[in-house]
Structure 1
Amino acid sequence: MKKLLLGSVLAAASFTSAATIVEMNTSQGVIEINLFDQQTPKTVANFLSYVQDDSYNETVIHRSVSNFVIQGGGFTFSDSLDAITTKPAVENEPVFSNVKGTIAMAKLSGDANSATSQWFFNITDNSAALDTQNGGFTVFGQITAASQSTLDKIAALVHCGETPVVGITAEQCASTDVTISSANLVTIQNVAVMDDDPNSAAGLTVTENTLIDSDTSTDSGSSSGGGLIWLLGAFLLAVPRLKRAK
């Protein structure tokens, strides 16, 4: 009986442990992310809850804006765009700055505490705009140096609107007679926990968000890249021009 109880405790501990390093396997390469478990615990726990129930598996990168962000975590695509099931929103934790190489939570315009499943990678230094907008966007992790090449590869793809695509030319994107399938989109195949030591992020070089404390303005609903809301609309503006593969 004691062994059974111990096994149950260990299993529960394993499920709830805070991962510091996760590996995001995409159709364009691997992105390894160090999570700030201790500094942004609520956001990390929220992100890991989607990882643990495989919610991010087979989702797509639905937005990529040059010199701004690469965004995902919200949709799958089969013969149409489907939003994933989301959990209750998480409280905002604007501790770190939105500098290049960080991952942060997307949220609804005008609601600082509305983040659920969607996240974005800062592919340039967005601190001036995103550290104060809408209560500050919560940075909860940082990619490893080796992962930058994957983000660069995604950013360099042909874009239909703001959606990065594979196997489709810019001319085809401008056409009204193009068929798109999931194979034409950047897919996140899975996200796996690689290291669950919450202290391993201590050695990272991070930048604190010092702007949020001195800024009392409310969200304007926009930024240099159009605002980091759910951006379903941004995806739909691009995709309806493409015929979905049956």
Structure 2
Amino acid sequence: MLFASFASASAAGQDATANPRVVLETSKGAITIELYPDKAPKTVENFLQYIDSGHYNNTVFHRVIGPNPRQPQGFMIQGGGFAAGQPISEKATRAPIPNEADNGLRNERGTIAMARTSDPHSASAQFFINLSDNAFLNHTAKTQSGWGYAVFGKVVEGMDVVDQIARVQTGRAPARVSSGQTAPFDDVPVEPVVIRSARRAQ
């Protein structure tokens, strides 16, 4: 789990002031994401550190909520936290980062945002790509219930790949969590959707 004003950068001839882009090479195809450090500096810095360290390589989209009667385009696809395998296994992360959801960006179709627990400031490595305009995820107040989920970029190429991932068959599957125990997870792709590599765009 788009009308905000986003800066854009050309794919070629990017200068020092251009927004950074990353490419997720997935088992379904490539997804290029433009990041907005002017709006979410700490979130973008954190995400790029995970990119540069290779953290996202060979991870999976472990939660996919695709098209349904309520949301014909689906809800979101979530990844970045579990290594591929049988079962999938939660990866260690760095310390959580502050929630920057009060940056004016909204959870609209194609945007990428940080996943977190009920603690507003618990995001670390996991992220999700919105399949629909999910206004209920937006920041409304600096309270436990109002913080929302921090948007920090947008898919600029490969939204067709995102939609292809959204349509995969899902079910309940075991996952090994950080405690070492195995727990059942819902909405897990039956056939793993793997992020084979994640890198900065050239």
TM-score (norm 1): 0.61
TM-score (norm 2): 0.74
User: Counterparts of 1:150 and 1:191 in 2: how far apart (Å)?
Assistant: 15
One of 89, 98, 107 as aligned partner of 1:82: 89
Structure 2 counterparts to residues 122-141 of structure 1, below 5 A: 122-127=130-135, 129-132=136-139, 133-141=145-153
User: Are the aligned partners of 1:64 and 1:71 in contact in 2 as well (CA < 8 Å)?
Assistant: yes
Partner of 1:51: 51
Where does structure 2 lack aligned partners over 5 or more consecutive residues?
1-16, 67-73, 140-144, 173-186
Runs of 4+ in 1 over 4 A off after TM superposition: none
User: Are the aligned partners of 1:22 and 1:32 in contact in 2 as well (CA < 8 Å)?
Assistant: yes
User: Counterparts of 2:124 and 2:195 in 1: how far apart (Å)?
Assistant: 18
User: Counterparts of 2:149 and 2:84 in 1: how far apart (Å)?
Assistant: 27
Kindly state the Cα deviation for residue 147 of structure 1 after the two structures are TM-superposed: 1.2
- Of Structure 1 and Structure 2, the greater helix share is in 1
User: Counterparts of 1:134 and 1:80 in 2: how far apart (Å)?
Assistant: 34
- Of Structure 1 and Structure 2, the greater strand share is in 2
RMSD: 1.7
Partner of 1:114: 122
SS in 2 for 1:52: helix
- Paired AA for residue 58 in structure 1: N
User: Are the aligned partners of 2:24 and 2:195 in contact in 1 as well (CA < 8 Å)?
Assistant: yes
Kindly state the Cα deviation for residue 19 of structure 1 after the two structures are TM-superposed: 6.4
User: Counterparts of 1:79 and 1:58 in 2: how far apart (Å)?
Assistant: 13
**Bigger shift: residues 112-121 or 152-161:** 152-161
Where does structure 1 lack aligned partners over 5 or more consecutive residues?
1-16, 167-184, 196-246
